[in-house]
Structure 1
């Protein structure tokens, strides 16, 4: 007697569900990358009208409000409840992944093009490997070590390309500091995501960061309000999509795929940013920066291709 077509074993259902979860995680990663690529361009535009700290504070004030409004509609994936004992952890996450990264990036993008900034940020896979080696004794193969050296060489070339006769390329240095802050956030949040759920971790991290940066909103008054709707629409977009939505998608992807796999996908970010920056702002990075970026991206790829 033949088995009905609709009879599916529990094992097959489990495998299908796991496949759907991984597909959803990859789609979430891709969507977050597109949103983040556009954010480099939007930040570059907004810095014409806002200070770096004021822009970061306003952006994440908007993101915090958006996530609070959406929180009843989105069910967390963790089983544990959030308690006061988690407060220091969320403050740490907010300072590393939101405050440190965004203020550093904004300071850098005052002088560095959107595409060049994204080439530096694409080194997060390398900084993630370095931090995991330093704090968790993860093994580093020869191929990974070579990739790290290549990435550092490419980043050095980018820094030198941003150095003019008027001074050192501090903009790129600020962005390098930002990526190490972000890598620390990615590495440290994994256990909390498994325990509390991606959305809950994302929500309280952004809330903590928004509170920490609230004094910086005063910069908006001292610098003066921009005329026209364009800057306000851009910062609203930054708060709602690359900040609120993208960080939720990214933390979900980390939960399903792990921090290293998701961080590796960031090497595609500069190409998206280069295209969006050219179309929206007409930006064209200097050839030396592009060469350094190509080396840096190659290093980021090798660091994970040969990672043990």
Structure 2
């Protein structure tokens, strides 16, 4: 494996893991939907510039891009940001890492994809881990955890829509960029109901998430995707909750519950088994 590609994948996973505690800091000083809008508005400007440069705009299948904007950006970001006000960022990292499980289930229910004993075993393990992470002793809040799980399910629905668009011949980058722009637009109707006050700190954290998490990390990931098999690349996603755990403790001094770590790794193991099936 090219060392540079390996570094791209590691850095992308590290940035995504770091995004959970940074987002938690942001939503503690800014209303959650306003913070989401700031992040994606900045990222959308960057995506727009790059789309112009690449001449990658598309006006066909706009309904699918709109749906992807809703399920891949608007709803999951709202659910996650509000959820982070109630639960810990490292548990959020573990719960978000279970997203592929819902994709397997949804693909079976709606796309007719086959499911086998390995996938069923993986799903079962993942749900055991999720169940124990949802318990009060794990260190999170049940309401916040449910919102984060809802966010992960939305991302899974978005992933299926994105796959449909890529199968129609769209570049993966264009799919992410256009859906981010549309998802930002769909955040606008909620802003009048938010406290719109913000500080320089709010903008600083939103800038970090926009530039690094939403823009640079995806560019690194897709650069790695061009040179590495998807099956190998997906292993790096299992590092995201690990980086989330470490950065949450360093940045927020979150108390790490052993029960939550065990439950989280059981869930991630289930995801790995289901994805390898």
TM-score between both structures, scaled by the size of structure 2: 0.87
Change beyond 3 A, Cα 1:140–1:258: farther
Q: Which of 123, 142, 151 is the aligned partner of 1:169?
A: 142
Is 1:49 the counterpart of 2:29 in the alignment?
A: yes
8 Å CA contact retained: 2:35, 2:202: no
Instruction: Please give the residue correspondences for 1:142-291 in structure 2 after superposition, counting only pairs within 5 Å.
Output: 142-161=117-136, 169-193=142-166, 195-218=169-192, 222-226=195-199, 229-250=200-221, 265-291=236-262
Q: In 1, Cα distance between the equivalents of 2:146 and 2:80?
A: 10
8 Å CA contact retained: 1:161, 1:286: no
Deviations, residues 22-63 of structure 1 (Å, cap 9, x unaligned) = x84x65543332221111011011011112211111111111
Change beyond 3 A, Cα 1:107–1:258: farther
Q: In 2, Cα distance between the equivalents of 1:138 and 1:260?
A: 17
1:292 shift after superposition: 1.5
Change beyond 3 A, Cα 1:286–1:93: same
Moved more, 255-264 or 155-164: 255-264
8 Å CA contact retained: 1:108, 1:171: yes
Matched residue, 1:33:
13
Change beyond 3 A, Cα 1:28–1:129: farther
Aligned-partner SS, 2:213? helix
Change beyond 3 A, Cα 1:270–1:168: closer
1:95 shift after superposition: 0.5
Change beyond 3 A, Cα 1:175–1:253: farther
Change beyond 3 A, Cα 1:130–1:253: farther
1:289 shift after superposition: 1.8
Q: Which runs of 5+ in 2 are unaligned?
A: none
Number of equivalences: 276
Q: Which of 57, 63, 82 is the aligned partner of 2:58?
A: 82
Change beyond 3 A, Cα 1:260–1:138: farther
Matched residue, 2:101:
126
Larger radius of gyration: 1
Change beyond 3 A, Cα 1:189–1:248: farther
Q: In 2, Cα distance between the equivalents of 1:287 and 1:163?
A: 8
Change beyond 3 A, Cα 1:59–1:114: same
1:301 shift after superposition: 1.7
TM-score between both structures, scaled by the size of structure 1: 0.79
Q: Which of 88, 91, 94 is the aligned partner of 1:113?
A: 88
Aligned-residue RMSD, C-alpha: 2.9
Is 1:65 the counterpart of 2:36 in the alignment?
A: no
